[in-house]
Amino acid sequence: MVRFKSRYILFTVHYPVLTDIDKICPSDDSASNYPARFQDKKAPSLSDRNILPGGKEGNLGKEMRTLLHKRPAPDGVTLNAVNTAFRDALNRNFGDLGAGLVRASVSLKYFSPATSTGIIRVSRDHYRIVWAALTLLNEIAGVKVVITVDHVSGTMRKCEKVAISKNIKVVRELSGDL
Amino acid sequence: MNARTILSQPSESSLKQGQLDVGAFVSSRKYEIQQLSASMRKSKAIQKQQTFQVVPRSLRRRAASHHVRFLPPRFREQAQQEYKDSGIQLKPKKRRRITRLHLRRDTALKLKYFARQRKAYHCNRKRSTYPVGINELATKVIMERKFKRRQKDKTWLPTHLWHAKRAHMIKKWGYVIPSHPNEKCFRRTHRASQNGSGIVFDTSYYATMILQGNHDSVLNIVNIISRGKACGKTYLLGDRAFEGPVYNVYRSTAGEGSVESAFGEAVIYFEPTTDLEGSLANKSRRALIRVHPAAFDDTWKMLMSLVKTTREQELNSDPDIELQDCRFSIGSIDIFGPKSLTVIGHNLRLNVEKDVTVLGAWSMATLEGDPKLIPLGAVFPLKFFDPRTISTPSRDRKLFDSEHRGALNHTMVCKGLNDFARNLGSRTPSPLLTTEGRSIRVEHAKIAHGRLKQRRAANSKAVDATKGNQIRLKLESLVFNDDVSIPAVMIRRASGGISLLLPWQWVAIFFKKLVLPAYTMCGGLQQYHQILSERMLPYFPDDYPGTSAGQVEEREKMTQREKEWKSRPRSKKVIYDALDLRNGEKKGEVGNPFACDWSYLLHADARGEHDPSKELSDLNEPWMITNLAGILSERNKLRKELNLLTAVFTVQIIMIGRGAPRPGARIYAIPVRDRSKWMKLKWNRKVVPESSEYPVCPKSAFLIGFITSGGFNLKEGKGSGIASLSWAKVEQNGGFNYRYCVVRDVGESIGRLALYKPL
């Protein structure tokens, strides 16, 4: 009996156009040691800036970039929205054949709006279609997005582990030590 | 599938009305980490099939798949549920219909049982302890009377029944000893003895003898058998136990061709006295002598004749001197591992006779105590309470957590040990050495279940009173009237482990308490051997070919190997006759391929020809050099006195590069002109045996010795072994300063470079 093999794709959603974040402020917890930039009472205000490299905000400090690159999802980008947009993208880019090939096996296992990270499961034979669809997906619920794939593996565990290690890195950068 | 969903936070938690809260951002990341980890754990848990797959491998039993009784208590409830769910037919407890016939039969059985008990009670009332032979060999003990017939020609250890269920037993030296546990445990043994919880052995097969008499005569005898080494001041005071060779008095006659023949290693412990001044000559003194059972017969005969001479000699005769054979009244448990002291301290209750400082010192010493901190040969005469009074031998894993290690450092532990030793009065003689001291009957000491409950209640009250201050001591804080004190002697051995000597009837009970918490491993002879090999120490009798016990062992192994070889089909075994060493000599293995062929080594002539009919007789058997340095420095003088042609000395072998030598491997000295070739191997890893640059094995004339134990050493990370080299051959072939040699396994054509180091 041949085993059914699948691939789990860990992806992050990026929002290249900032429309809804006006301020970045430190939390009320004064004991934590966040980088100096955020300790400022007068937090920097941002509006409608392009934070991709080359844009005006391309030379933000490392911590700012971390924050903005991995920002929480804006309103409207939820699990269901991602799901719908993704299937739509599949259909649009690969047609009925492509969508049909993967439809049975593809499922969005996890998506967190707080961290914009998600895990999709596909059968091993067609994961490239899904990967391509993710890459070509540029709008979710009216919000412009860029999706990068962080990790592809045969087990859910490994994707979870990679997600955890990325989170640890972020936390470490932004809060001194964990 | 509900369990598989991973919870996530909505983005509102960190992004509120256009404000990105950094703190909340960070915590949302942390939350995600938590949820992902939880998901991983849950998915693992869901996949688990049955409880008995969670049970550690050593506790798994086949019958547990349908019988809850065979699982450890903590799993039983869970398992019960699983069996019900999966519809397994549980075996109900058999219930007989009670009929009149049954009743009559039961009554008859009970009456017989009581009659037997009464008879035994009357018999035993006079003799309250296990047999000791005074000036004669002791009668052996039958362990379980139910199995009396099986013990006709062999002696069971006190823990036999426990071991028989968990280990493969062999019959050796008249005892039935566990050879190895049922599971494969090569790496497990290494871990247990090196970093882990420890490994426990029942070593009651070690023969114990007590020599009792006048101080002078006892001293004299010990002096003779140990060649003076066991009579130093610290030994006489009883502070330390001597561990070293016991010599055969009758073999080493002066004059030409004499031989320093040893029987084996012994532990000699003088019963402590506080004063060595004054006339001790006529004070009574005891010395405990422990020998391996393989060497027991010879040592006993020798000691008996010495005792006899002492009794009958004209000058300073000591008519009361006696040699007690305590083989079956003193048993022992050996523990290896960095946490041995902790295991002892935690699972056994020490009787400190209400001395709180000692108790404190003991806890300090055992909390972190590595037995390596105890000086070699240090002896602690201890008294324990019945370990069955401890309610739970703790499964407290926190004790074994590595985090705990930071808390106490070495100095504190050493201080604890020092205090302990000082205050315990290591100068007081242990009641273990007297018959009266050992005679605490197990049945008399047993405390009824209800009474145990009472004690526990009283204990917890006391703990509450101290507000749980010293939680570890809670079980030992109260001493009750029915607490019985069992004498024990704890010795730190040269091999790095601890020996705990106990009265024979208590060994099983103590053993179970030390092993029950399922993280202390229990081992057999093979594990003991492995631990000593890893530490590069010789194991008696395998590594002592210079003793008669070693020769006997070698012969047994040879017959065993030959038998196995003969029974295999021709295509599935190494054909030794066809072995081509490619060094110009005729084909075939050098010497007898099934053994360390000492007769070949010592009695072959220069051409390597050997007359196989010339067997090893008493006169030309190899004998072991115990003092290599001494002999080296005075070799010219001693050459006349000692027959160095058959002398043999023990070395440690460490491989350079690859290869793990097996017992029986041949060791060659490197001929001078080949030295550079072999040395190149040391630096150049690319030269592989298949290549043409690899040097050829030296000729059989360069044979200097054999490996007696060997294998891959997990501690060193490479192959290693213990070997014995022939003095004469080493001298002939390059001397004692050039320590490189070539080791070639039996049946292999490739030799490998190694380094030897004399012990």
pLDDT in tens, chain A (178 residues): 678 899 999 999 988 776 665 555 655 544 444 555 554 444 444 543 444 444 444 444 566 666 666 778 887 888 899 999 999 999 999 999 989 989 889 999 999 988 889 999 999 999 999 999 999 998 898 888 899 999 999 999 899 999 999 988 888 877 664 3
Q: Parallel, antiparallel, or unpaired: how do β-strands B521-522 and B199-202 relate? A: parallel
Contacts of B29 (CB under 8 A, 6+ apart): A115, A167, A170, A171
CATH value at residue A78: 3.30.70.3250
**Considering only CB atoms, which chain A residues are within 8 Å of B10?**
78, 113-114
Contacts of A145 (CB under 8 A, 6+ apart): A13, A14, A15, A16, A77, A137, A138, A139
Alpha-carbon gap, residue B128 to B385, rounded angstroms: 19
Q: Is the Cβ–Cβ distance between B504 and B331 less than 8 Å? A: yes
Mean pLDDT on B59-83: 82
How high is the mean pLDDT of chain B? Answer: 80
Look at residue B317 and tell me whether its pLDDT is greater than 50: yes
In this complex, which of A67, A115, A171 lies closest to B20 when CB atoms are compared? A67
Alpha-carbon gap, residue B529 to B580, rounded angstroms: 33
Alpha-carbon gap, residue B485 to B505, rounded angstroms: 14
Alpha-carbon gap, residue B515 to B276, rounded angstroms: 40
For the stretch B497-531, pLDDT in tens is 899 999 888 899 899 888 876 578 889 999 999 99
Does the beta-carbon distance from A170 to B9 stay under 8 Å?
no
Q: Is the Cβ–Cβ distance between B436 and B130 less than 8 Å? A: no
pLDDT given for residue B311 in this prediction: 83
Mean pLDDT on B191-210: 89
**Considering only CB atoms, which chain A residues are within 8 Å of B37?**
160, 164
H helix runs in B19-131, sequence order: 22-47, 51-54, 73-86, 100-126
B617: phi > 0 → left, psi -120 to 50 → alpha, else beta; which? beta
In this complex, which of B13, B21, B36 lies closest to A160 when CB atoms are compared? B36
A123 in the same domain as A82: yes
Q: Which residue of B has its CA nearest to A20?
A: B18
Q: Please provide the size of chain B in residues.
A: 759
pLDDT given for residue B277 in this prediction: 58
Does the beta-carbon distance from A114 to B8 stay under 8 Å?
yes
A51 in the same domain as A89: no
Whether the CB of A96 is below 8 Å from some CB of chain B: the reply is no
Q: Which residue of A has its CA nearest to B42?
A: A157
A36 in the same domain as A95: no
Q: What is the DSSP letter of B229?
A: G
Alpha-carbon gap, residue B452 to B544, rounded angstroms: 49
Alpha-carbon gap, residue B18 to A23, rounded angstroms: 6
Alpha-carbon gap, residue A65 to A16, rounded angstroms: 12
Alpha-carbon gap, residue B695 to B752, rounded angstroms: 9
pTM of the model: 0.75
Q: Parallel, antiparallel, or unpaired: how do β-strands B485-492 and B207-214 relate? A: unpaired
Encode burial over B553-583: b for 16+ CB neighbours within 10 A, e otherwise.
bbeebbeebeeeeeeeeeeeeeebeebebee
A55 in the same domain as A112: no
A150 in the same domain as A85: yes
Does the beta-carbon distance from A72 to B30 stay under 8 Å?
no
Q: Is the Cβ–Cβ distance between B201 and B522 less than 8 Å? A: yes
Positive/negative CA dihedral, A130, A131, A132, A134: positive
Q: Which residue of B has its CA nearest to A30?
A: B23
pLDDT given for residue B721 in this prediction: 94
The alpha carbon of residue A37 is apart from the nearest alpha carbon of chain B, in Å, by 11
Q: What is the DSSP letter of B151?
A: G
Give the pLDDT band (50/70/90) at residue B470: very low
Give the pLDDT band (50/70/90) at residue B651: very high
Positive/negative CA dihedral, B382, B388, B390, B396: positive
Q: Is the Cβ–Cβ distance between B751 and B583 less than 8 Å? A: no
Number of structural domains in chain A: 2
Q: Which residue of B has its CA nearest to A115?
A: B29
Alpha-carbon gap, residue B631 to B612, rounded angstroms: 31
> For residue B495, what are the β-bridge partners?
none
Residue indicated by tokens 């040990």: B417
A103 in the same domain as A80: yes
Alpha-carbon gap, residue A176 to A165, rounded angstroms: 16
pLDDT given for residue A43 in this prediction: 43
Name the phi and psi angles at B485, rounded to 5.
-100, 120
In this complex, which of A78, A160, A167 lies closest to B39 when CB atoms are compared? A160
**Considering only CB atoms, which chain A residues are within 8 Å of B23?**
26-29, 32, 34
Name the phi and psi angles at B72, rounded to 5.
-60, 145
B-side interface with A, Cβ within 8 Å? Answer: 6, 8-11, 13-15, 18-26, 28-33, 36-37, 39-40, 43
Element (H, E) at A12: strand A6-14
Give the pLDDT band (50/70/90) at residue B103: confident
For residue B541, say if its preceding peptide bond is cis, omega within 30 degrees of 0.
yes
Expressed in percent and rounded to 5, the helix, strand and coil fractions of chain A are 40, 20, 35
Look at residue B382 and tell me whether its pLDDT is greater than 80: yes
Summary count for chain A: helices (H), strands (E): 5, 7
Q: Is the Cβ–Cβ distance between A15 and A164 less than 8 Å? A: no
Q: Parallel, antiparallel, or unpaired: how do β-strands B647-655 and B623-624 relate? A: parallel
For the stretch B572-613, pLDDT in tens is 998 998 888 888 788 888 888 998 888 888 876 555 555 555
In the numeric block, which tokens belong to residue B395? 């499964």
Q: With H, G, I as helix, E, B as strand and everything else as coil, classify residue B661.
A: coil
| CA proximity to B385, closest of B254, B475, B451, B469 | B475
Mean pLDDT on B88-95: 69
Write out the residue range of the structural domain in which residue A75 sits. Answer: 6-16+71-175
A115 in the same domain as A48: no
Mutation target among A75, A145, A171 for the B interface, most CBs of B within 10 A = A171
In this complex, which of B9, B22, B40 lies closest to A34 when CB atoms are compared? B22
**Considering only CB atoms, which chain A residues are within 8 Å of B31?**
114
**Considering only CB atoms, which chain A residues are within 8 Å of B43?**
156-157
Contacts of A12 (CB under 8 A, 6+ apart): A70, A116, A117, A118, A147, A148, A150
Lowest mean pLDDT among B35-39, B450-454, B701-705: B450-454
The alpha carbon of residue B405 is apart from the nearest alpha carbon of chain A, in Å, by 24
Residue A136 located in a structural domain = yes
Alpha-carbon gap, residue A132 to A92, rounded angstroms: 12
Alpha-carbon gap, residue B529 to B462, rounded angstroms: 46
Contacts of A26 (CB under 8 A, 6+ apart): A34, A38, A39, A40, A43, B21, B22, B23
Chain centroid, CA B454 distance in Å: 38
A52 in the same domain as A100: no
pLDDT given for residue B401 in this prediction: 45
The alpha carbon of residue A139 is apart from the nearest alpha carbon of chain B, in Å, by 18
**Considering only CB atoms, which chain A residues are within 8 Å of B19?**
21-25
Q: Which residue of A has its CA nearest to B12?
A: A114
**Considering only CB atoms, which chain A residues are within 8 Å of B47?**
none
The alpha carbon of residue A126 is apart from the nearest alpha carbon of chain B, in Å, by 23
The alpha carbon of residue B188 is apart from the nearest alpha carbon of chain A, in Å, by 28
In this complex, which of B13, B19, B43 lies closest to A114 when CB atoms are compared? B13
**Considering only CB atoms, which chain A residues are within 8 Å of B18?**
20-23
A82 in the same domain as A51: no
Residue A140 located in a structural domain = yes
Whether the CB of A47 is below 8 Å from some CB of chain B: the reply is no
| CA proximity to A18, closest of A62, A63, A51 | A51
Chain centroid, CA B298 distance in Å: 23
Element (H, E) at B235: helix B233-237
Residue A86 located in a structural domain = yes
pLDDT given for residue B444 in this prediction: 63
Alpha-carbon gap, residue B36 to B209, rounded angstroms: 64
**Considering only CB atoms, which chain B residues are within 8 Å of A79?**
8
Alpha-carbon gap, residue B198 to B337, rounded angstroms: 4
Alpha-carbon gap, residue A159 to A154, rounded angstroms: 9
Does the beta-carbon distance from A67 to B25 stay under 8 Å?
yes
Q: Is the Cβ–Cβ distance between B290 and B207 less than 8 Å? A: yes
**Considering only CB atoms, which chain A residues are within 8 Å of B30?**
167, 171
Q: Which residue of B has its CA nearest to A29?
A: B23
In this complex, which of A20, A27, A167 lies closest to B22 when CB atoms are compared? A27
In this complex, which of A28, A112, A156 lies closest to B32 when CB atoms are compared? A112
For the stretch B706-717, pLDDT in tens is 999 999 999 999
In this complex, which of B10, B19, B26 lies closest to A174 when CB atoms are compared? B26
Does the beta-carbon distance from A75 to B11 stay under 8 Å?
yes
A111 in the same domain as A32: no
The alpha carbon of residue B3 is apart from the nearest alpha carbon of chain A, in Å, by 12
Lowest mean pLDDT among A99-113, B35-49, B329-343, B495-509: B35-49
Alpha-carbon gap, residue B703 to B742, rounded angstroms: 9
Residue A1 located in a structural domain = no
pLDDT given for residue B402 in this prediction: 42
A120 in the same domain as A49: no
- Distances B594 to B34, B173, B561, B744 between C-alpha atoms, Å: 61, 22, 6, 14
Does the beta-carbon distance from B19 to A22 stay under 8 Å?
yes
What type of residue is A26? P
Residue A166 located in a structural domain = yes
Q: With H, G, I as helix, E, B as strand and everything else as coil, classify residue B111.
A: helix
Residue A55 located in a structural domain = yes
Residue A66 located in a structural domain = no
Positive/negative CA dihedral, B166, B167, B168, B174: negative
Residue A65 located in a structural domain = no
**Considering only CB atoms, which chain A residues are within 8 Å of B34?**
none
Q: Is the Cβ–Cβ distance between B340 and B365 less than 8 Å? A: no
The alpha carbon of residue B170 is apart from the nearest alpha carbon of chain A, in Å, by 46
Q: Which residue of A has its CA nearest to B26?
A: A171
Mutation target among A109, A167, A172 for the B interface, most CBs of B within 10 A = A167
Q: Is the Cβ–Cβ distance between B232 and B555 less than 8 Å? A: no
In the numeric block, which tokens belong to residue B237? 């005071």
The alpha carbon of residue B591 is apart from the nearest alpha carbon of chain A, in Å, by 55
Whether the CB of A37 is below 8 Å from some CB of chain B: the reply is no
A142: phi > 0 → left, psi -120 to 50 → alpha, else beta; which? left
Mutation target among B8, B19, B22 for the A interface, most CBs of A within 10 A = B22
Whether the CB of A20 is below 8 Å from some CB of chain B: the reply is yes
In this complex, which of B9, B15, B19 lies closest to A112 when CB atoms are compared? B9
The alpha carbon of residue B25 is apart from the nearest alpha carbon of chain A, in Å, by 8
In this prediction the ipTM stands at 0.80
Does the beta-carbon distance from A20 to B15 stay under 8 Å?
yes
A114 in the same domain as A53: no
